[in-house]
Structure 1
Amino acid sequence: MKHNLIHILVLIFYSAWAWGQNPVETQVDTTNIKIGDAFSLTIKTHTNQNSKVLFPDSPQLGDFEVIDSYPVDTLLKSDYMELIKKYDLTQFNAGSYSVPQLPVIVDAKMFKTDSIYIQVTDIEVDTLKTPLYEIKGISTADASFSSKWFYLIFIILAVLVGLGLYFIIKKRQDANLTEEDKYKTPYEKAVKKLKKLEEKKNWTRGDAKPYYSDMTDIARTFIEDTFDISARELTTFEIISILKNTLKDKKIKLRPEIIREFKRVLDTADLVKFAKSQPTEGEITADTSKIQNIVDEINIAYPISAATQTERIRLREERKRKRKRLRIWVPISVSASLILISGIAYLINISAERDWHLLTFNSTKKLMNKEWITSTYGSNPGITISTPEVLFRKNDKTIQESALEGVASIQQFKYASINDPLYIILNIVETNKEFKYTDKEITDHSIRILTQNFRAKDIDFETSDFENANGIRGVEVKGNFIFSNPVNQKEEKIVFEGVMTKSGINRDQAWIFYLESDTTAPQLAERIFDSMQYKKEEKP
């Protein structure tokens, strides 16, 4: 009995010790799937109830594509907390693959999940028993609708709103036109009114007075609009006299018989209006033709132009131009405002997608203001550093193959790339007894290897001693180079800063790259370097 109790206590203490060493547990529901099938990966952490845990968040985990990433489940126990993160993964090529060791950050410390092998088998198809069909066209059913189409539709609607507004304004303007504004020239006004009057034939009721009054008013108005004479307020004698003098002053050549015909029609109209004379239908028709001929002859002899138009016509043309400007610029302004709103909404949307600062569109400022993550990378003893985002292991073959003699291993952790506003590289370099290089040789070699991948030119740098508040000492490097950005096809000046430290057999390096024009990035670099410290080895 006592012997069994000792065994139980040993198991309990061993389990507690194992849990303290690595609180991360990894499980899969199967290790054998067919092509395209999904399997579940479950990561569990056992931590204190106030612990902060960061699980991997990537569309690709090793060789497997993430189909679904489920929200974290939390189970509260009496003395600890269990967090459960599930993923659905798949692979579309047959073979043997492994789920790599994934980083899980627990209270600013990085732990690794177990690596698990998954066998992906092909699907055998018996073409003799299974009928084959022709390839079908692409189906559009249930196709995803890009959010960019909404902006395009909104722009089209903005243009249609402008067009609709144009026709609405034009219709209202046409409905509210005055008598003066309906016709382009005095000649057009006289011709159309004479035609409309002739179609009425209101003399057939035995009273020609209204007809002659309207006909002579049309002629008098034509003379008034053309020569700027108050013809409607003058007697027949006065209007004929003033018209002759005006023709003479303006040197207008008009046949004398035209003036005589005009006088005869005006005299006939006076007789009809004041002496109750009643012309025959033939005389009325003839007088109408004479007025039409008089208007035609005067228009030929003195056509309205910019130089000859009267003040009344100028005012009318000005009103016409104002109406045109109103019905054109109001719709354009409304459509442009709607398109501008759409553009602003689009910029705000992509700024959220690209993690830009909302007001400054500065991604490094956004990184500076967010909550940073402190993690320990490497081992023996491992370097602890604070960065805006977690650094992921991404070993560069060029760095590995170009290592100096005496380098046992290089572990690389990175954030972003050289094309991004901020690029961070952390190299954990473990050496052996054969490593015998000076700080200058290490600096020259590191910069040459780092920049050759970027096809950099005009490289310039300087070195100085480095020491931060945590007691980390080493060499600080500051420099710049010209980089041809493949994204925007422009040459950009890149500034780089680095700190190279050593602890025991480790020769670790932290490098930061950013645009020369970025004023926030130097503060980021200083903050990162100030946070560096070596993990203290725990005594057994």
Structure 2
Amino acid sequence: MNKRFTTTIKSYKAAALLLFLLLSFQVFAQQPQINAEIDSSSIKIGEQIIFSIEVETDSTDLVVFPEGQTFDPMEMVESLGADTTTVEDRYRLLKKYSLTRFDSGAYTIPQQKVIIQNREYLTDSFRVEVADVKVDTTRQKMYPIKPAVDVPKPFSIPNWIWWLLAALVILGLAFYFFRRRKKRKEAEPELPPYEQAMFELKQLDNSSLLQDREIKEYYSQLAFIVRKYLDRKIYDRALESTTSELIAYLELRKQSGELSLKDKSIDNLQQLLKRADLAKFANSRPDVITAKSDRTKAEHLIKDIRQVVPEPTEEELMLDEKYRTEKLKRKRRNKILAIIGGVLILGIIVIVVLVNTRGFDYVKDSVLGNETKELLEGDWIRSEYGTPTVTITTPEVLVRKAVDRDDELQEMLLGSETFDSGTLESNLYILLITGPVNPEGDFNLDKAVDGIYENLENQGASNIIMKEEDFSTINNAEGIKVFGTFNLENPITGGPIQKEYAILNFGENGGFQQVMVVFDEDDEYAEEILQRVENSIELKNQSN
């Protein structure tokens, strides 16, 4: 009995083990399979290799291939589309990338990450040799170095021109509308006083102001017609005077015997003007019958004044014409002054807003111009200079120049090349020196830096303040930065010019390199130029 029971247990164990193996094989068979390869492990500079990733997985799985510059230090030139093939009930995906490198050396393509159904899988890494392109200098014809060519500055319009142009446009528009209005007035000459008043009263009768119960506007026009007639015939300030002032003037003229106007006419005028004042300023609303009555009184008043005021003589007409001409000139002059004043006030408002938001220096530099600001905002130039090569970005191209070196520096170098832009007295001066080190000489970077003080003194600098710190370029070339301030004599006034300077010194690639930037003290635009120049310096290893 026990033997049979033991045999049964062993059979169950064997069956369970067989089932486990079958399930494990099935799970293993369903796992994604990833394979990566490159078509070549050795290329020349600039040649391309194909990096392939092959994934075999279920048709329902989501596969995400690597994208972007994940192959660093190799550069991805192109990401080709993925090819898909079917193998039984599984998919096989093939993704290819075109890679290259422009510097010689040995590089390792890092492992690439492939995501399948939110799980990450890594490919193998590969080593690639990038070889130089061999150049046979014994058979290749060599040419001398071409001289530097001055590149003309691109034409740019100063900012103050735009401000002046805007002001001229505003003045031109104002003058245009003023002339247009003047021509319109000249094209429509005014009738004599009596005929003009009768014409305007008829226009008022033809209007629909009374029918629309626009009593306020009706009285405004009626009072203006009467005042205008008085202004042209009796009192040249009738339009500007108050009702009481106008009535007092008429009564005074009547008492002096200059105006034989009836008392009833003056009373009717006073009632008319007061009713008009109440309608305009006190929201009084006379009835239509009263308004029509006042209209009739206004016509009678105009006719009475015409009878008592004699027609002007020829001499009076000439004097009156001269007066009106002078008055018109004054009005025109006042309008022009008002326009100019408006433009000035607008300009002052704009300047005040800009000063409060951007600062006084910004407004001054934008309107009057600033040389270093224009250099900072202009088109910069990136170029390589001398041997050993110094790659640098500057606002203007550096021009080769010949200079005499001190004996100590001459002994340390086999020769040197000098490039610069500007002058030491100008707003911005950039100097670049590079040359190979004399292997038989005793070159020491600290020793070369010690000669900077004497070199500045030889160029006329005084009150020199020097500071020193370590410096490294964007490609990790180590050097020494010397910076500070000094005074320079102004060649025109003889007074001192306060300067700031920064001198970067390197002993890389078997040579000596020096970059100097000098600018006026407290020039914020020049300080930005210095930072940009410092960040652009690159000393490439010539072996690569």
TM class by shorter-chain length?
Answer: 0.3 to 0.5
Structure-2-length-normalised TM-score: 0.36
Structure-1-length-normalised TM-score: 0.36
